Structure 1
Amino acid sequence: MTLLVSDENRVRTLVLDRPEALNAFNEELYDALTDALLAAADDSSVAVVLLSGNGRAFSAGTDLLEMQQIATDPGFERGKHGFVGLVDALVDFPKPLLVAVNGLALGIGATILGFADLAFMSTSARLKCPFTSLGVAPEAASSYLFPALVGRQDAAWALLSAEWISAQEAREMGLVWRLCEPEDLLPEARRHAGLLAARPISSLVAVKHTMTEPHRAAIRAARERENAAFAELMGGPANLEALTAFAEDRQPDFTGLPAGW
């Protein structure tokens, strides 16, 4: 089991449940969360979805050990949905999506905030967009959604630097809506989810549609640019050095790469 699902008062709570791997997304978890979002979208008894993580992390992003296998093993068996399927489900999700960042959030654990209608974050949590430290490109339309959320320079720092961003910095940027003490995070997120869930689902869906529809073409174009850049860089010298360094528990050294990398 990689995902916990529970319902209460028209709120469906999804909890990432690979705490031993800091809730890193392997193919199984990508598929489980995608299936859960698709099911919630089609379930007339669900008004709101709340997403959080189990343990000390929200999500450490894509499982890098599995990512290394994918990069080096042409025969690796991929999941039904994978990363692309999850992002598709997020783009198309028609109901309010609340995200409660309970701990460390890296990669998709951070960029998913671009799809959150309301984002809550523990004061002890922190996040990172590690793309340049992995020798790859942005993902999940973050190259479009982050500047729209926080402005160009804060987005540039988040996406270019691969540095940690504290909860306070995330709130000041506008990446998250509310900060909560760790013990208050889920109760506060659930309280807001319950307030929304008491409204007519048809109205919630209509409001979200009118807010998100103007951005769909730009999100699609951003994803195409990102996917092309990611495909070019994945398995390249910088990416392989980063993945090898991770497997060997050391810092990557990009200074000896061929010119242009």
Structure 2
Amino acid sequence: MKKWLSVTLTIVIFLTVTACGNNKSTPDAAGQDKEASEPETITVGLVNGIPKISVLDESGKWTGYDYETLVKIDDLLPQYVFKYEPITDFQAAFVGLDTKSFDILAVHASWTEERAAKYLYGEASNYENSGYTLKVKKGSGIVVKSEEDLGGLKIALAPGAAVAGDVEKYNEQHPDRKIEVVWDTGTVEQQLANLKSGAIDALFGEPLNDKALLEAYGADAFDIAGSHLFYDAGKKNGTYLLFNYGSEPLQKDIDEAINHLLKDGTLSNLSKEILGIDVTVKPD
């Protein structure tokens, strides 16, 4: 789960923004365009506030890789038109899906067994998680080659973060050399200050967030001591759209569109253009 989502924020405003492509048309049998039948409006609860992933600015304009992915999906599906509701509280976002205020929840959600029991996951992902990195104090000399090297480290975790479950399982399996968990709901600035002061040894991250933080805070902000931590190639490792059970036709249409955009390289190019890295590629 992304660390930008770990900070609980208050929903301050809900704005509706309709994606481009309302005047969609489809070719008739002779190959001529004709006005499509009235498309079905699909309400998307879209996370707001993850830099370069999805952000709604003060003028009401959306930007970011996840948003642009949704626009391209919408362009491929003339039977639907997407409208967007900004989400700034990750936990409260699921209430919108529960109450059917949203047809789709796009909160950059990773797969968990608990969520899959309650919500219908899309099968296709536009963002392939590659496991977690480990941020440590600049010059600390800490090197983590695998999860086995995490024991004894004091690592800050946000309550509810997906990696917290992995850490709990690790500690159950390593009772004699546990990770020392420091529960932390502070800001990014506070977390990096704690890392620099030695109050904690490490923070989990992921490549995109690490890149953004180093750009924002400078190359001396931290070192990367390890990567691909808690990655299991046999599991679902992407971030996925969520639906209510009963929305299988919509889910299948969107999965087909995502797979098309992955196959033709559209999302790879979009990722490199917006994020500076290709997040559609699975780790070796």
TM-score by length of 2: 0.27
TM-score by length of 1: 0.29
Q: Relative contact order (C-alpha < 8 Å, sep 6+): which is higher?
A: 2
Higher strand share: 2
Higher helix share: 1
